[in-house]
Amino acid sequence: MVLRRRQTPQPPPPEPPELERIDAAKARLSRFAPASTEALIGDLRMAVADALADRERLRALIGELNPERIGAELKQALRERRDPSAEDDRRVASLRSRYESVSHLQNKLDEVEGNIATALVDLDTTVAEAAAAALASQESGNVDRHLQQLKADTAALAAAHRELEHL
């Protein structure tokens, strides 16, 4: 008879801090903003979740490509050329092309991270504006403007995701 230990289920991994931040903002906004904002925040959350997945895929891909080695190989090949002003030979051209491709991926990673950061700042601003408007019993003009900015942020994140989903 073989005794087996009962495996206790592993707890799910914690939510990324960016998504926790959105959930907290959604809870705060529910006290100040119209109910229609809930769908917008849900769309933003999905767009940020997709962007976080894109970010991780890009990081993994860039890590696999080893940009430091690629840069070092290009520099070495450039140093080895007899005439620095001569056109690139086939090897140097290939190394340069590879280097530029990895640089493009790194730029896309920076863009995705910037889009996420901007969306979170705009969300925090919207929460603050909604709270200030509720406290002062003001019109929601500033809140509406910030909600429009959140829509634009969501659209930017979705556009970047569409561009990267082929990775």
74 has pLDDT over 60: yes
Domain boundaries, the chain: 17-27+34-63+104-164
Alpha helix segments (H runs only) across 4-140: 17-32, 37-65, 67-80, 90-136
CA proximity to 158, closest of 115, 129, 121: 115
In eight-state DSSP terms, residue 33 is: S
Q: Per residue in 96-117, pLDDT tens?
A: 999 999 999 999 999 999 999 9
Q: Which has the higher per-residue pLDDT, 133 or 79? A: 79
Integer CA distances (angstroms), 145 to 45, 66, 124, 126, in order: 19, 43, 13, 9
pLDDT of residue 3: 67
Does pTM top 0.95 for this prediction? Answer: no
And the tokens for 67? 């940009």
Dihedral (C-alpha) 18, 19, 25, 29: value to the nearest 10 degrees? 140
pLDDT of residue 1: 60
pLDDT of residue 72: 97
pLDDT of residue 55: 97
pLDDT of residue 139: 59
The model's confidence at residue 140, banded by pLDDT at 50, 70 and 90, is low
The model's confidence at residue 17, banded by pLDDT at 50, 70 and 90, is very high
pLDDT of residue 138: 58
Q: Per residue in 148-159, pLDDT tens?
A: 889 999 999 999
pLDDT of residue 35: 78
**C-alpha dihedral sign at 151, 121, 59, 111:** positive
